[in-house]
Amino acid sequence: MKRFIETLKNIYKIEDLRNRIGTTLLFVLIYRLGSYVSLPGIDPAQLGQLKNQTSDGLLGLLDMFSGGAFSNASIFALGIMPYISASIVIQLLGIAVPYFQRLQKEGESGRRKINQITRYLTVAILIFQSPAYLANLRFQLPESAFAVSGTMFTVTSTIILTAGSMFVMWLGERITDKGIGNGISLIIMIGIIARLPFSVFAEFASRLNQQGGGMVMFLIEFVLLFLVFAGTILLVQGTRRIPVQYAKRIVGNKQYGGVRQYIPLKVNAAGVMPIIFAQAIMFVPITLAGFATSESLGNFAAAFTNHTGFWYNFTQFILVIAFTYFYTAITVNPVQMAEDMKKNGGFIPGVKPGKKTVEFLDTVMSRITLPGSIFLGIVTILPAFAMLMGINTQFAYFYGGTSLLILVGVILDTLQQIESHLLMRHYDGLMKSGRIKGRTGGGQTMY
């Protein structure tokens, strides 16, 4: 406790860090307040049916990512997810389309152009998603909940929802520039954490009313949650270090080199992306269920829309493993790593430069990705096991999946930035021994 108070004092002494944390808290407060501002023309008192619809399933997950804005029919209802969808599309285009590959190699100017294209694509996605969201409101809410109806309501609300999501994106970018941590990731995390107190209270109330051992089960649930949280931290921070020996060089009359450094290969280099891709695929049966005309197709769709069913979770588990290898292959390039080592006069002891080095790095990456992908698959399906144990659906989401990985990753990245500010000014770090390692070992990722 004494060390914690001392750390807070050190943070307060650093003016730049103090201002950054204050700016971050201000922007987060603006985001949270905006999530309770309902769309003009909708009676907030009649949103009960919409809240029931978003209590579980896919819409429950979307509502959690938006911090409850989705079920509040808020101006921020669509949140930051359209921007993330656009970013994923641009990332995939950067693999297959030469134009985007050139932009990625153009440095700062290329990055600005990619960001501009991503924003345009976000607006296009919002223009399609906003009317779909409004159509769902029309279906779920009674006619008396709408003070305005017709085309005018749809047009104005589409503009407001689009502007609201773009404003949330702007808040995220300002947090990244003037605050602490990655703004987009932080906004998603805040939305998830905002749902945690309600989920815990609902689970506590259900266990309190349970006859015989309800509170004991509630304590066991928290112990299991802590273990899953700790295991996910190990998954995010796990690395395999490959030694690289740099040959001696003579520049003028001085001799340099003979230095050994290490290449950190992440156990989970793909981050949360495999889960996002897998869940996107698993949403297809939900669409098929709406168009099912035959009994066999209807049964197939029903089996793959049951979140606690065997085939749904088994398929998702396999997809996460496959996408982990896929995304690792496109983010970690052994050929490029081998070329960079060769250009800088480096080599892996006992391995010949060139093709043998590429094969060695590829083999090591494949081996360490396997346990990481399996653990990631287990984390993905843990909420289903939590639901089968009788845990509240909303609380079960915190036992795994995208929400848990985002929480762990963003918390570690933010703490790492704070620790860097402290160490740079010769203060003690946040931990007594060792340094906090984020998802990228010092950098930032969007998710």
Which pLDDT belongs to residue 88?
A: 79
Question: Does residue 334 share a domain with residue 242?
Answer: yes
Question: Does residue 371 share a domain with residue 272?
Answer: yes
Is residue 284 a part of any domain in this protein?
A: yes
Question: Does residue 204 share a domain with residue 118?
Answer: no
Is residue 290 a part of any domain in this protein?
A: yes
Question: What are 404-422's pLDDT values in tens digits?
Answer: 877 887 888 888 888 887 8
Whether 386 has a pLDDT exceeding 90, the answer reads: no
Which pLDDT belongs to residue 6?
A: 78
Tokens of 436: 């906090």
DSSP state of 39: P
Range of the domain at 384: 199-414
* Cα Rg of the chain, angstroms: 24
Residue 152: half-sphere exposure toward Cβ, Cα within 13 Å: 6
Which pLDDT belongs to residue 445?
A: 46
Q: Considering the chain, what is the average pLDDT of its residues? A: 79
Quick check: helix, strand or coil at residue 55? coil
Is residue 162 a part of any domain in this protein?
A: yes
Question: Does residue 173 share a domain with residue 203?
Answer: no
Which pLDDT belongs to residue 443?
A: 38
Question: Does residue 215 share a domain with residue 332?
Answer: yes
Is residue 421 a part of any domain in this protein?
A: no
**What amino acid occupies position 233?**
I
Q: What is the mean pLDDT of residues 128-152?
A: 81
Q: Ramachandran region of residue 150, left (φ > 0), alpha (ψ -120 to 50) or beta?
A: left
- Which of 179, 208, 235 lies at the terminal end of a domain, its last residue? 179
Confidence of residue 198 (pLDDT cuts 50, 70, 90): confident
Beta carbons within 10 angstroms of residue 168's beta carbon: 29
Question: Does residue 174 share a domain with residue 218?
Answer: no
What is the Cα–Cα distance from 238 to 374, expressed in whole angstroms? 14
Which pLDDT belongs to residue 298?
A: 57
From residue 60, alpha-carbon distances to 53, 57, 320, 393 in Å are 8, 5, 21, 9
Question: Does residue 118 share a domain with residue 53?
Answer: yes
Whether the CA torsion 384, 385, 391, 395 is positive or negative: it is: negative
Is residue 307 a part of any domain in this protein?
A: yes
What is the Cα–Cα distance from 104 to 131, expressed in whole angstroms? 34
DSSP state of 193: H
- Which of 179, 211, 240 lies at the terminal end of a domain, its last residue? 179
Is residue 420 a part of any domain in this protein?
A: no
Give me the residues paired with residue 24 across strands. none
Is residue 40 a part of any domain in this protein?
A: yes
What is the Cα–Cα distance from 173 to 182, expressed in whole angstroms? 8
Tally of domains in the chain:
2
Whether 385 has a pLDDT exceeding 50, the answer reads: yes
Whether 289 has a pLDDT exceeding 70, the answer reads: no
Question: Does residue 353 share a domain with residue 302?
Answer: yes
Contact present, 172 and 191 (Cβ < 8 Å):
no
Question: Does residue 362 share a domain with residue 287?
Answer: yes
CATH number at residue 323: 1.10.3370.10
Question: Does residue 257 share a domain with residue 359?
Answer: yes
**Better pLDDT: 61 or 433:** 61
What is the Cα–Cα distance from 383 to 391, expressed in whole angstroms? 9
Give me the residues paired with residue 263 across strands. 242
Which pLDDT belongs to residue 305?
A: 66
Question: Does residue 118 share a domain with residue 213?
Answer: no
Whether 444 has a pLDDT exceeding 50, the answer reads: no
Is residue 433 a part of any domain in this protein?
A: no
Nearest CA among 428, 378, 373 for reference residue 404: 378
Question: Does residue 273 share a domain with residue 237?
Answer: yes
Which pLDDT belongs to residue 251?
A: 47
